[in-house]
Structure 1
Amino acid sequence: MMGERTVMQEALFYEFSLERHVPSDHLLRSVDRFVDLSGLRAHLQPFYSAIGRPSIDPELMIRMLLIGYCCGIRSERRLCEEVHLNLAYRWFCRLGLEGAVPDHSTFSKNRHGRFRDSNLLRTLFETTVQSCLDAGLVGGEGFAVDASLIRADANRQRSVAGSEEVDWEAMAATRRSVREYLDTLDEAAWGAASEVTPKFVSPSDPAAQWTGAHKGHAFFAYATNYLIDLDHAVIVDVEASRAIRQAEVGAARTMLDRTLERFELYPERLAADSAYGSAEMLGWLVHERGIEPHIPVFDKSERRDGTFERADFTYDHEADAYVCPAGQELRPRQKTYRMPRPLADSDGLIRYRASTLDCAPCPLKPRCCPNTPARKVPRSVHEGARDMARAIAATDAYAISRRERKKIEMLFAHLKRILGLDRLRLRGPNGARDEFHLAAAAQNLRKLAKLIPMPEPRPA
């Protein structure tokens, strides 16, 4: 016999507890132990008026944003719907069953105002780093640095050529991303990172870099730069920059300096790929910071035409001269000038030149300098640091660092595939910073939840 439809009757009284309905192994229950927002209201107090209607609780908005980035909910409109329906989300946000969920537009209003003015999201990220330090997850001896490209919210079909004249001042009156672009033209991580004119520029987000670094279709992108500790792959700093090598190397310096200032972390070694192996970067690490560079040397001295390359010349430290395969010396200067000239050029290179009298009768000249009267070999002013990096590359510790450096690649894969941050929602440098700070904070919180076990429940 077919059953009849039951009519739901509302009960007069309910005995319901969110605390009992959130599973003990739920991700947010583990994460909640490490979310410290005790100083949030004091931090934001100067940015609120003393009169007027009470605002939405800022702690509620931050907790909702953490849910979105921890659980890969990219849309704030959808986030509000999920928090309204999901019991675990309500428990994490301290809403209870009857608490009202704020409108999605509240996040935009506060992000463009109080959150950025107070640098709140940066403070939130640093709080998670401090929690990792307190839990003993940061060794502080070995760091790794790298950058990953994140697609910007910019359309190629609506871009303009980089050489085309655009009235950015007029566009800045109506577009926040254009105002931020103009404000960052003098910063080393943005406009001042390179003088090269990009092939295309997006009017909707001009700070985004047109790049073909993935060897496929080119796209507009930003770079998220991570500095991690190699013990447990904790992100100790994060920085947004343009998607070019010069900006990423500058971001690495910024993060190392800031980590020392904020947390007094001074690593013994730094692991990175060859993009960070320039002479200037290696010289800065060795001579100014005393950090061992576990980094491949960026070297383009190899030759493919069969002639002698720089590695075939031996450097004599005592004589400050190179010795060629024929046994002749190449010195920094073969002429005496009336007005002294600097040895190094604007690129930081010293040219070691052989004598024409030595090269002309030399039987090895066709293999050394067939098209010039004499051979010259450039040597960087930071060649000592480069030699140190080459010596480290032959050690077992370097091989270990190269393996451990893969942890940062795993973090980028987790960021894009699990947390869903393969394309930015927000535009402009500030929008990129906001998303990268929240994503790095979420990854650190998930790391804490995974590595620090939940305490045993107390008996009744």
Structure 2
Amino acid sequence: MPMIIDGGTHHDGSKHFSRPAVLRINLEDHVPRDHLLRGVDRFLDLGELRQHLAPFYSHTGRPSIDPELMIRMLVIGYCLGIRSERRLCEEVHLNLAYRWFCRLDLEDRVPDHSTFSKNRHGRFRQSDALRFVFETVLRRCMTEGLVQGEGFAVDASIIKADANRARNASASDVAQWRQGTQCNRAVREYLDALDANNPVAKDALEEVHDKTAASRNISPTDPAAQWTAAPGGPAFYAYSTNYLIDLSAGIIMDVEATPAHRTPEVNSTRTMIDRVEQRFDIRPQRLVGDTAYGTAPLLGWMVEDKQIEPHVPVWDKTVRKDGSLSISEFQWQPERNEYVCPEGRALRNDRRQFTTPRTRITKADTVIYRASQADCVACEMKDRCCPSTPFRKIARSIHEGAREVARSIAQTPQYSQSRRERKKVEMLFAHLKRIMKLDRLRLRGLSGAQDEFLMAATAQNLRRMAKWLMSSEADAAMKTA
């Protein structure tokens, strides 16, 4: 490519700029062979992106900026920890390797930083383009043999939101958001989500908003962010990025943004596993997670609905702290549908008969088994069994069978191996925050968090694929030589 320079050189080697000269510069020659972006470029194919976005572009007016160019610039930013889009545009303008990766010649102009915001909140979000790019990269990982699909791990990590922890909205502020016309995008998104989850009359909905604001701290700039002190220390507003990874090479199979709260984090597991199965026809044989994922409903879903082995510690609150007998000291008799206490007396769930049959399942998805009061009053072990109640009762989860499966798996060598492999997802979170600098979000709202987490996961998969495969090829070349 030509580059015109007015200048020359004196006999003593000093430069002067007086005459025109034309230089031919090939950017390919100025990018080191071991540069990270060479490996990323090898495995990043965005050929189908334009077709995916075609319905969202107008056929009239000025030509639009190439969406592949914007995605490639975002990949550079997330791969190399350039968090500011303004700075990213400056770096692409100055760095030859970045220009080469973006398919820009020296005389080509770099898009303005404002175009990222317009496209991100417009056609990218409407078309789910960032999800499309993530899944395109994931398919390439599968093609390269980095995904086995035998074992998955799931975990969540808290990322600070772009919200001042010292500011919070009162109930009256939230009530005024509905009438306000100057609400920012994150606030409008929050109100729309409340409307969708509470299909009631407007007056009642405003009352829901008031109660929501009164029950927890709400940020006036990003109300969907969760007020949390989970990592320890002072509380702040945050979101959680939830990763589902394949344990063979640590490839991220799916990512989901949720408020930084345990319930939505755990529920996102179902969303991610179902989506991977639907999009790629992959269902793991085992799922590895920490105790937060050992709740009875999730274990029941894994074992009974998905036939997935739960390599997860059981969330168990049945051990009593007052020294009285725990549930484990009662023997379960499945053929008679009853428990037997250490004294040989039965605890049943049907001591009282009803004309209309009942499921006897409580709102907490448990079945209550009760001992006879007459048996308990005359029992010598009453003070150790039920000192503060007239008779002993046991709440058995309807998913207790799945809990027993998880307990039995926890005694196997395969479970110990799974616990060691689970560290791969924690390493990805450490890399996300320390190397890629994503310890605080720049975009607001749940959709903004989802956009950032998707691009970050895409960059991590590209980096992993580039370094893993290129290092393998280098080792093979050395052995051959």
TM-score range (shorter-chain normalised) is: over 0.9
What aligned pairs does 1:294-373 form with structure 2 within 5 A after superposition? 294-373=311-390
TM-fit CA distance, 1:313? 1.0
- Please name the residue that 2:14 is paired with: 6
The letter of the residue matching 1:205 is D
Query: Are the counterparts in 1 of residues 171 and 213 from structure 2 also a CA contact under 8 Å?
Result: no
What aligned pairs does 1:145-156 form with structure 2 within 5 A after superposition? 145-156=154-165
Choose which of 454, 458, 480 in structure 2 pairs with 1:437. Answer: 454
- Please name the residue that 2:130 is paired with: 121
The letter of the residue matching 2:370 is R
Q: Distance in 2 between the 1:302 and 1:108 partners?
A: 53
**Does 2:185 match 1:176?**
yes
Query: Are the counterparts in 2 of residues 329 and 354 from structure 1 also a CA contact under 8 Å?
Result: yes
What aligned pairs does 1:130-169 form with structure 2 within 5 A after superposition? 130-161=139-170, 165-169=174-178
* Distance change (3 Å), C-alpha of 1:131 and 1:338: same
Query: Are the counterparts in 1 of residues 367 and 397 from structure 2 also a CA contact under 8 Å?
Result: yes
* Distance change (3 Å), C-alpha of 1:269 and 1:162: farther
Choose which of 266, 270, 277 in structure 1 pairs with 2:283. Answer: 266
Q: 3-state DSSP class of the match of 1:160? A: coil
Q: 3-state DSSP class of the match of 1:201? A: coil
The one-character-per-residue Cα deviations of 1:54-89 (angstroms, maximum 9, x if unpaired) are: 121211111100000000000000001101111100
The one-character-per-residue Cα deviations of 1:385-412 (angstroms, maximum 9, x if unpaired) are: 0000000000011111111011000000
TM-fit CA distance, 1:197? 6.8
The letter of the residue matching 2:145 is G
**Does 2:119 match 1:110?**
yes
What aligned pairs does 1:381-392 form with structure 2 within 5 A after superposition? 381-392=398-409
Q: 3-state DSSP class of the match of 2:253? A: strand
The letter of the residue matching 2:451 is D
TM-fit CA distance, 1:160? 2.4
Residue range with higher mean Cα deviation, 446-455 or 75-84 = 446-455
Q: Distance in 1 between the 2:112 and 2:48 partners?
A: 24
- Please name the residue that 2:54 is paired with: 45
- The structure with more helix, counted as a fraction of residues: 2
The letter of the residue matching 1:451 is W
Q: 3-state DSSP class of the match of 2:287? A: strand
Query: Are the counterparts in 2 of residues 312 and 325 from structure 1 also a CA contact under 8 Å?
Result: yes
- Please name the residue that 1:221 is paired with: 238
Query: Are the counterparts in 2 of residues 328 and 354 from structure 1 also a CA contact under 8 Å?
Result: yes
Query: Are the counterparts in 1 of residues 291 and 312 from structure 2 also a CA contact under 8 Å?
Result: yes
- Please name the residue that 2:43 is paired with: 34
**Does 2:400 match 1:400?**
no
Q: Distance in 1 between the 2:256 and 2:429 partners?
A: 14
TM-fit CA distance, 1:184? 2.5
Q: Distance in 2 between the 1:196 and 1:287 partners?
A: 38
**Does 2:18 match 1:22?**
no
Extract unaligned runs of 5+ from structure 2.
Answer: 1-10, 198-207
Q: Distance in 2 between the 1:364 and 1:438 partners?
A: 61
The one-character-per-residue Cα deviations of 1:115-161 (angstroms, maximum 9, x if unpaired) are: 11111000000011101000000010000011111100011222125
| Normalised TM-score (structure 2) | 0.90
The letter of the residue matching 1:230 is L
The letter of the residue matching 1:415 is L
- CA RMSD in angstroms comes to 2.2
TM-fit CA distance, 1:340? 3.3
Choose which of 266, 269, 288 in structure 1 pairs with 2:305. Answer: 288
Q: Distance in 2 between the 1:308 and 1:14 partners?
A: 87
* Distance change (3 Å), C-alpha of 1:186 and 1:356: farther
Q: Distance in 2 between the 1:228 and 1:431 partners?
A: 22
- Please name the residue that 2:86 is paired with: 77
User: After TM superposition, what 4+ stretches of structure 1 lie above 4 angstroms from structure 2?
Assistant: 161-165, 195-198, 454-457
Q: Distance in 2 between the 1:164 and 1:363 partners?
A: 61
Query: Are the counterparts in 2 of residues 173 and 179 from structure 1 also a CA contact under 8 Å?
Result: no
Q: Distance in 1 between the 2:196 and 2:408 partners?
A: 35
The letter of the residue matching 1:52 is G
Q: Distance in 1 between the 2:279 and 2:196 partners?
A: 21
Q: Distance in 2 between the 1:270 and 1:45 partners?
A: 38
* Distance change (3 Å), C-alpha of 1:341 and 1:268: same
Query: Are the counterparts in 1 of residues 174 and 213 from structure 2 also a CA contact under 8 Å?
Result: no
* Distance change (3 Å), C-alpha of 1:311 and 1:429: same
The share of aligned pairs that are identical, in percent, is: 58
Q: Distance in 2 between the 1:198 and 1:8 partners?
A: 71
Q: Distance in 1 between the 2:328 and 2:170 partners?
A: 42
* Distance change (3 Å), C-alpha of 1:280 and 1:57: same
The one-character-per-residue Cα deviations of 1:337-370 (angstroms, maximum 9, x if unpaired) are: 3443331111111111000111101110000111
Q: 3-state DSSP class of the match of 1:145? A: strand
Q: Distance in 2 between the 1:215 and 1:162 partners?
A: 27
The letter of the residue matching 1:152 is A
- Please name the residue that 2:470 is paired with: 453
